[in-house]
Structure formats: structure tokens, C-alpha cells
């Protein structure tokens, strides 16, 4: 039987590990991730690279680098499936 929680815990650990390695505590990591999510939901449009970097602009370079890796890992978790030729799959027809 597959333990989904274990898989989710491993993914979460993998995503935030760069921030932990940079010395941030879980409270700081939660704050950053909440800020990213908040901007994505109520911000003025799509989250931009500037928005992402702005969340850690006042932090030391190690934290800024770790944040960039963390955001990259978040994006890698949900990459779209690829079609046979390596591109995005063709949309399925919904109608008759």
C-alpha cells in the first residue's frame, strides 16, 4: 500500500531543503511561502520574477540563492506532462 503522506513529506522536505540549509527556520519558510501564495492569489496579475525575488530582497545572498532554488523546485513539482515529441500534449476534444 502506498503511503501518500510519506511521499508528500518527502516532496516538502526536498522543496524547502535549500532554505533549511541556508539557516532559515520553519517560521521564516512559512512566511516566505505564504507571501508567495498571497501574491499569486490576490496580487495584481501573475507573479513575476521580480515579485518572487522581492520577497527575499533584504535577505543575505545565501537566502536569496536558496529561495531561487526553492521556487524552482516548487515549479518542478507540477511540470506539465509532455507529449510524444517532447512538447505539450495536444488538447482533447470536448465536443462531438
Q: Where are the domains of the chain?
A: 10-75
Q: pTM score, two decimals? A: 0.71
pLDDT of 13 strictly over 50: yes
47-90 pLDDT, tens digit per residue, is 888 889 999 999 999 999 999 999 999 888 866 555 555 554 55
Identify the H or E element spanning 32: helix 26-42
Q: Model confidence over 15-58: pLDDT tens digits?
A: 999 999 999 999 999 999 999 989 888 887 778 888 899 999 99
Amino acid at each position: 500500500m502506498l503511503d501518500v503522506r510519506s511521499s508528500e513529506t518527502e516532496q516538502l522536505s526536498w522543496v524547502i531543503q535549500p532554505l533549511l540549509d541556508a539557516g532559515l527556520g520553519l517560521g521564516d519558510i512559512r512566511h516566505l511561502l505564504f507571501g508567495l501564495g498571497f501574491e499569486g492569489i490576490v496580487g495584481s496579475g501573475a507573479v513575476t520574477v521580480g515579485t518572487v525575488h522581492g520577497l527575499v530582497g533584504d535577505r543575505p545572498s545565501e537566502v536569496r540563492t536558496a529561495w531561487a532554488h526553492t521556487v524552482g523546485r516548487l515549479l518542478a513539482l507540477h511540470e506539465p506532462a509532455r507529449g510524444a515529441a517532447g512538447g505539450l500534449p495536444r488538447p482533447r476534444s470536448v465536443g462531438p
